Each structure stands twice: as structure tokens, then as C-alpha cells.
Amino acid sequence: MSEFTNFIGSVSIEPPLNESEVLYLQRFSNTRRMARTSGPYSTVATGRLVVPDGDILDINEPPVGQPGLYCQWIPGESGASLEWSRRSKFPFATEWMSYIIDQFLKPGAALADEMAAPIKNRYYAPEFLEFTFNHTLNGEVVGVGEFGERCRIIVSGNQVRAEEG
């Protein structure tokens, strides 16, 4: 796919996200995903100019396990869908879709397991206490590149796959 790809469509979420889940995922999408001492889920806003502040380990390296520096999947207004934020350049769109589902949304999500583990001094957003980890995502998003090439990101029962063409 091209560096510049527009995505059409959304993936449905059942049951819809609650307010805490929507707010956190919006912040997550709006922050540069940098390796930080406060952990991979930190959503500390840095503005347009990123200045290392003691918490940032590397401004150009995403946290371990995250596919890139920007996640552009955001909840729809009602929390019943996941859609593209319409910001340009979205590499790793398929990988980010899998990450959001596997980490935060599906039954048995990684974050649910991490929160249950007795580890001290780990950063968690207050919203995580309201996360339900009971969502199933289904749907299809079509990507159209700047040169007309197409791909589809297909989500079925929380399983994500990509198809070219």
C-alpha cells in the first residue's frame, strides 16, 4: 500500500464501548506512542513538539509490542464502532487493529491479565478500572492508496486479517 492511504468503513463493536473505554482510546489515538518509563499505556500529551521529559525513553521508538508511533483507530461517537481518525499516513493499520482488540477490548485481553497481576508501581489510567473486556468486533475497512491500490482489513469475531486488491 501507498504511504498515503484513506480508509473507508468501520468495524462494529458489540456491546458498545462504555464512556471510560471511549475516552481512553481517544487519548491513546491522540498521543505519540513512545517508549516511556510510565509504561506502554501512557497517554501523557506532549503537544506538537516532543521534548524528552524524564519519562520518555525514546521519542522515535514505540513501546515494545506496539506496531508504530501512531495509532489512528478511534471509537465512533456512540462507542459502537472503531474507525479511522482521518489523519494522514497510517502505517501498520492492520497491526494496530489487532493490537487494540487484543490489548483492550476482547474477552481475555492482555490488559485484563496485566491488571490482575500483583505488580507494584505500574502505570494504569483511571479509566482501566471501568474496562469490561467483553467486546466482539466485526466488519470491514477498505483502504485506498494514493495510486489506486486497494486493501481490505477484515475483522471477524475479533480475528483480524488483511487482503490486498
User: Which amino acid belongs to residue 164?
Assistant: E
Reported as a single tens digit per residue, the pLDDT across 129-160 is 999 999 999 999 999 888 888 999 999 999 99
Number of domains in the chain: 1
Residue 60 located in a structural domain: yes
Asked whether residue 83 is domain-assigned, the answer is yes
Q: What are phi and psi of 23, to 5 degrees?
A: -60, -45
Q: Mind listing the pLDDT tens digit for each residue in 72-124?
A: 999 998 999 999 999 877 889 999 999 999 999 999 999 998 888 766 556 67
Residue 6: pLDDT over 80 = yes
Q: Which structural domain range is residue 66 located in? A: 17-131
Look at residue 58 and tell me if it is in a domain: yes
For the full predicted model, state whether its pTM sits above 0.85: yes
Cα–Cα nearest to 68, from 6, 3, 162: 3
Distance set, CA 161 to CA 23, 28, 94, 137, 153 (Å)? 26, 22, 7, 13, 6
- The pLDDT tens digits for 7-21 are 999 999 999 999 999
